[in-house]
Structure 1
Amino acid sequence: MTTKLAKAQHAQYFQRFIHLLPNQLAIHDSIRLTIAFFALSGLDVLNSLDVLNEKKRTEAIEWIYQLQVSGAGPRSGFQGSTSISNDASRYQTGHLTMTYLGLASLLTLGDDLSRVDKKSIIEGVRACQNDDGSFTATLTGSESDMRFIYCACCISSILDDWSGIDKHKAIDYITKSISYDGGIGQGPGLESHGGSTFCAVASLFLMDELTKTLTEKQMNRLRYWCLMRQVGGFHGRPNKHEDTCYSFWVGATLQILGARHFTDATENRAYVLTTQDSVLGGLAKFDNSPPDPLHTYLGLCGLSLLGEPGLQGVNAALNISQSAFAQLEEIHKTWASD
C-alpha cells in the first residue's frame, strides 16, 4: 500500500479537468461549474493553484461570471454551465448549489466579488425556501432537502446577508430531521446519513445557531453517531462500505462538533490513500474504483482535516480553503466599511 500522498499527480489530474471535460463526464456538462469547483479548490488545497498563471485565472473568473443570472428577480443566481445561451434568457435561472459553488470558486481564484449581484442573489435564495423551511435548488422546482438548506446558508454567509432565509423555519426543518439514532436525514422521517448530517450541522453553525438549537445530549448523540461511522475510513450509513468522501463529510462534522480528535486518524489516512492513483492522479470512492473529481477533492479535504503535510487547511463549515476564507474575511471588512 502506498503511504505517500501523490501531490504532483493529483495536481496534474485536476489540471486536466480545467482544460477539457473528459468524454465520460460529458453527461454532466449542465453542471460543469461543479467540476470546476472541485478542480480549482483541489489545486488550492494542494497548494498548487500557482500552476494557473494570471491569464488562466482571469479566464476562469470571467467564465464563472458568465454563469451569473443577474437582475432576474427570484430567478437570480448562478447556473451550472454556458449550455443555455444568453439569448435564451427566459430559460435561465439560478441554482442554489451552482450559486454557492460559483461564489466559492471566485473566492478561491482571489476575486473580490465586486461583480456579484448580491441583492438579486439573495432574492433568488428567498424565492427557493418552502413553507416547511427546506429549499428547492431552483425556482422552477426540484428536490427539496438538507443539501439546499446548506447551500442557502453558504450563500448567505459568503454574501454576509441572511435576509433571504427564514431561519426559524429552516431550523425547525433541521430539528425535525434528527433521527431516532441521533444522526440527521435529508428530511423528517428519513434515514440518518453522513452527507445530510454534515449539511445540517454546518448550516446551524453558519447561522450561529448550533449550540442554541441542539441540547448537549443531542450534540453528544450526534458525536457518537458520527464516530460510529468509522471502520478504517468512514462510511455514510450503518452497514455500508467505507467511502473516501465521508472522510470529509463525517470528519468535517466532527471538526465542527469538536470531536474529530476521537477518531483514528492513522486508519482514516490509510484508507484514503488506498484509493489514490499514484501514477495518473486522483482518488476514488473505493480502492477498486476509478478516480473522479468529487472523491479526489473531498478525499484531500479529509486528509487536510487530519493535518496531512503539504496540504492547506480547510474551513470545515464552508468547505473552502483557509486562504479562500481569509479572502472572504477581507471582503467582509471592505463591505462593512462602505
Structure 2
Amino acid sequence: MTEQTRDRSEGNGAPFHASKHALFCFRSLKFLPSPYQAEDQARMPLAYFCLSSLSLLPSTCLSPTNDPSLSALDVLLKPEQRQGYIDWVYEQQSPGGGFRGGDSMAAVGVGESAIHQDNSINLVPLASQRDQDDFDRLMDYPDSDSDSHSGRGNASHMPSPAPPSKLEHPLAPANLIQTYTAILILGILEDDFSRLDRKALLRFIASCQNEDGSFLQFPSCPEAGDPRSTYAAFVLASMLDDWFSIDLDAALAFLITCQRPDGGFATGPRSEAQGGTTYCSIACFSLASRLDSLPTPQDLLRSLVGKQVAPFATPPSTTSSSTSSSSISAEDPDLDPHPLAGFQGRLSKPPDACYSFWAVASLSLISPLFETSEPSRGSEPIPSARKWYNPSMDREWLLSCQHAVYGGIARESGAMPDVYHTYLSLAALSLGSDSSSGKDLGLAPLVPGWNCSVKVKEYLQQQRRLRGK
C-alpha cells in the first residue's frame, strides 16, 4: 500500500496526506518534542487536538479495506488505550468541579524517581519497557505509516493510570478551557460520564463569572475575563444542557463591549480585534440562540470576508487601507492554476493556518443572519458560508502547509507542524468540504459552535448523566 493510494489529491493540486496526519497525531498522543515543554500544564487541550484530529480523519486513509464508517481513531486505539485516556482525564477532575490541564504541577513534592528528567513530554507517561519499545517503533518515521497500522488496534499500549489526586493543588487549579476540552475528549472516547461530578462542574462555571459578565479561566485568576473563557463557559452550558449557572444577559453585554469598529471582537474593550476572539464571541451568541442580538452584523461579515488573503510576497505596508490589497473574493478569477489564499488573524498580518478555522467557523455561525432560499445539489444543501469566501483557495493554502514527510500541518508553508495547527486546519477543511462538487477530503462533518464532529455532538447529547436527565 503506497502513500499515494491512501491519500487524496484535488486534481493536480497538492495531495492531502491524510494517513501521515493520522500517524502524526497518534505519535503525538504518546510523545511531544521539547518545544512543547512550555505547554506542560495544558496537556488536556493537546490531547484534544490529537484525538479530535483522529476522529475527523477517515479510517480508509490508513487502509482502503477498513470500514469507511470508522474514523482513524477507531482503528488506531485499542479498547484498553481508550480506557486509559478516559481514566487519565478523570484524574484531572477537581473536587471543587471542573478539570485541570494536567498533573505535572500537582506532582510537586513527589520523589525524584517519579519525575521525568528528559527533554520530552509524554501526554500520559510510558509505564513499561514494552510501551517504550512500541513508542520507539512508532517514532521510526520512514516505517511509521507501514501497513502494520491498517487493522484495528495495531498500536502501542496505553500505560496504567497513576493514582488520582484527592486534593486541590494551588499550582494546578481547574480551568474552564481545560474543562471544555476534557468533556470533548470524554465524548470522543465515548465515556458514559458516570464519574463526572456534574453539580460541582455547574458550581465551578458559575464561580468563574465576573460582575461585568465576563468569565475568568478559574476563580481568582489574575488575568481579566475575555471572550475565550466566556466561550468555554457557554459551550459547557450547552453540553450540559443547563444555562442556570450563567448570567446570559451580563455575559453577552460584556462581549458587545469587546466589538471593535471594524466589526470583529477583541479580548477586551481597548484591544485589537482578532480571529480567535471573534469566533468565541460569535459562538456565544449562537449557542445562546441570540444571533439576532449581534451588533452590526454587516460590518462583522465584511471584516471576516476581508481576512482571506494571499500569502505576502513582501512585508505588507503598515499604511494599507482597512481592506487589504491582497484580499480574495469568491468571485475572483483563478489567474494561477492552483491559487491559494488563507486567512489572517489581524489586518496587515500574513495568513496563518489556524485562522482558517476561526474565520470559516465564524462565517458558518453567522450565515443564518444572511440566509436566503438556498439551492441544493442533489440531497445536500449548499452550506451558505461557502458563498462568503473562496474555499478552494483556502484548501490549497492549508494543503501547502502540510509536512510531506512527518505529517501534520504548520502555521504556514515551510514551518514545522504542530498539533494545534493540524487540528484547526483539519477542522477548517471539514467545514469547507463539498462532496457534491468532488471537493471532499473524506473528513467527518464538523459542528462549528462546539468545534467537534457531528458524531461526537450527537453522542454527547444522548448522555443522560452529562445532560442531567
Please give the per-residue CA displacement for 1:149-181, whole angstroms capped at 9, x wherever unaligned.
001111111111112211111010011111111
Change (3 A) 1:139 1:214: same
Change (3 A) 1:10 1:137: same
- Write the mapping of 1:91-240 to structure 2, written as runs, cut at 5 A: 91=170, 92-143=172-223, 144-211=225-292, 213-214=293-294, 218-231=296-309, 232-240=341-349
Displacement after TM superposition at 1:199 (Å): 0.2
- Write the mapping of 1:179-328 to structure 2, written as runs, cut at 5 A: 179-211=260-292, 213-214=293-294, 218-231=296-309, 232-258=341-367, 260-261=385-386, 262-307=388-433, 308-328=440-460
**Which of 1, 6, 29 is matched with 2:17 structurally?**
6
> Higher helix share goes to which structure?
1
Displacement after TM superposition at 1:89 (Å): 2.7
Please give the per-residue CA displacement for 1:283-309, whole angstroms capped at 9, x wherever unaligned.
000112110110000000010011132
Amino acid at match of 1:103: I
Aligned-partner Cα distance in 1 for 2:466–2:236 = 18
Please give the per-residue CA displacement for 1:181-240, whole angstroms capped at 9, x wherever unaligned.
1111111132111111100000111111112x125xx12221111000001110111111
Change (3 A) 1:137 1:13: same
Residue in 1 aligned with 2:91?
A: 66
Residue in 2 aligned with 1:48?
A: 72
Aligned-partner Cα distance in 2 for 1:245–1:64 = 25
Aligned-partner Cα distance in 1 for 2:208–2:246 = 9
Aligned-partner Cα distance in 2 for 1:189–1:109 = 40
Amino acid at match of 2:276: G
- What's the secondary structure of 1:69's corresponding residue? coil
Is 2:98–2:174's contact at 8 Å kept on the other side of the alignment? yes
**Count, aligned residues:** 330
Please give the per-residue CA displacement for 1:122-146, whole angstroms capped at 9, x wherever unaligned.
1111111111111111113132211
Aligned-partner Cα distance in 1 for 2:445–2:15 = 18
Is 1:2–1:274's contact at 8 Å kept on the other side of the alignment? no
Displacement after TM superposition at 1:334 (Å): 8.6
Aligned-partner Cα distance in 2 for 1:113–1:40 = 18
Displacement after TM superposition at 1:332 (Å): 5.3
TM-score scaled to structure 1, two decimals? Answer: 0.93
Amino acid at match of 1:175: I
Range with bigger deviation, 90-99 or 11-20: 90-99
Amino acid at match of 2:307: R
Amino acid at match of 2:27: R
Displacement after TM superposition at 1:88 (Å): 5.2
Residue 331, structure 1, aligned to residue 463, structure 2? yes
Query: Which aligned runs of 4 or more in structure 1 are off by greater than 3 angstroms?
Result: 332-336
Amino acid at match of 1:271: W
Is 2:258–2:266's contact at 8 Å kept on the other side of the alignment? yes
Aligned-partner Cα distance in 1 for 2:34–2:408 = 17
Change (3 A) 1:122 1:335: closer
Residue 77, structure 1, aligned to residue 98, structure 2? yes
Displacement after TM superposition at 1:333 (Å): 9.8
Q: CA RMSD in A?
A: 1.7
- What's the secondary structure of 2:101's corresponding residue? coil
Change (3 A) 1:54 1:87: closer
* Unaligned residue ranges in structure 2 (runs of 5+): 1-11, 58-70, 108-164, 310-340, 368-383, 434-439
TM-score scaled to structure 2, two decimals? Answer: 0.68
Is 1:176–1:187's contact at 8 Å kept on the other side of the alignment? yes
**Which of 28, 31, 36 is matched with 2:47 structurally?**
36
Percent of paired sites with the same residue: 33
Aligned-partner Cα distance in 2 for 1:263–1:53 = 40
Aligned-partner Cα distance in 2 for 1:99–1:206 = 17
